[in-house]
């Protein structure tokens, strides 16, 4: 019932957000994922459509019969041409190898990473070539299901908050305003972000007078 406690907290702390949550579909907690695998998928998905990412991921998995799991040593053994043949760019091929090498060194240990603060986790992952702050935050939110992550740089979160709160700022000023609003959501900022994303998908809008 963690989500129920989180929803009650968010609704009490921010009635406008509470109205958005009430108008949406329930979001259930999800099991933690394989962090290494989630990181590979995040890189494959960067800057391309969901459909294209799914197709390339399927072809990538076909390189690892019979189960399709990209063991780090097997990824490292592949040539750039083999990776590019499944639809990966030269740059992404290099990033996947960097992730595999990081995992081989024991630097993607689940128990260790889940104990890190948001900032320490981000610093640890962004040491991998090709992994940026946004990717690290998405992994915390979705692969690890950590409860209090806020991605002020995410375009979807920005658009949803602009619409919900009538924000007119741009750039750094917008992100600063978003961070100030989200302070009241602690320690459940991840769930708040998920409802904000959902509101874009289902077109939920809350009238200006909603409380």
pLDDT digits (tens, 9 = 90+) for 28-48: 888 788 999 999 999 999 888
For the chain, the structural domain boundaries read 2-30+150-202, 35-143
**Contact indicator for 195, 24 with CB cutoff of 8 Å:** yes
Give the whole-number percent of the chain exceeding pLDDT 70.
Answer: 97
CATH of domain 2-30+150-202: 1.10.1670.40
Superfamily of domain 35-143: Hypothetical protein; domain 2 (1.10.340.30)
Phi and psi angles of residue 42, each rounded to the nearest 5 degrees, phi first: -65, -40
- 2-30+150-202 and 35-143: identical CATH topology: no
pLDDT in tens, 161-208: 999 999 999 999 999 999 999 999 999 999 999 999 999 987 777 765
What is the rounded CA–CA span in Å between residue 90 and residue 44? 12
Positions marked active-site: 154
DSSP state, residue 144: S
Regarding pTM above 0.75, the answer is yes
Maximal C-alpha separation, the chain? 59
The pLDDT of residue 28 is: 87
């Amino acid at each position: 019932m963690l989500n129920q406690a989180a929803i009650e907290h968010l609704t009490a702390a921010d009635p406008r957000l509470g109205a958005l949550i009430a108008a949406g579909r329930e979001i259930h907690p999800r099991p933690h994922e394989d962090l290494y695998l989630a990181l590979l998928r995040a890189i494959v998905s960067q800057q391309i459509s969901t459909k294209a990412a799914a197709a390339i991921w399927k072809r990538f998995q076909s390189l690892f019969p019979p189960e399709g799991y990209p063991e780090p040593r097997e990824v490292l053994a592949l040539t750039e041409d083999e990776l590019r043949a499944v639809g990966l760019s030269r740059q992404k091929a290099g990033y996947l190898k960097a992730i595999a090498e990081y995992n081989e060194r024991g630097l993607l240990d689940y128990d260790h990473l889940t104990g890190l603060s948001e900032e320490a986790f981000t610093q640890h992952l962004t040491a991998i070539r090709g992994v940026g702050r946004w990717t690290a935050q998405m992994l915390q939110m979705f692969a690890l299901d950590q409860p209090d992550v806020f991605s002020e740089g995410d375009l979807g979160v920005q658009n949803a908050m602009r619409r919900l709160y009538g924000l007119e700022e741009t750039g750094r000023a917008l992100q600063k305003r978003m961070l100030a609003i989200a302070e009241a959501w602690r320690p459940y900022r991840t769930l708040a972000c998920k409802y904000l994303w959902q509101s874009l998908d289902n077109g939920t809008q809350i009238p200006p007078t909603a409380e």
